[in-house]
Amino acid sequence: MIVKQVCGIFLAMSDEATRLAEGMIAAPRPAARIENHLCEHAGCGMRAPFGFARPRQTPHWFCLAHRAAGDRYL
3-state helix/strand/coil string of 4-66: EEECCEEECCCCCCCCCCCCCCCCCCCCCCCCCCECCCCCCCCECCEEECCCCCCCEEECCCC
Question: Would you list the domain boundaries of the chain?
Answer: 36-74
Q: Which pLDDT belongs to residue 39?
A: 95
Whether the predicted model's global pTM rises above the 0.85 cut: no
Q: Which pLDDT belongs to residue 12?
A: 56
Name the range with the highest mean pLDDT among 4-8, 25-29, 61-65. Answer: 61-65
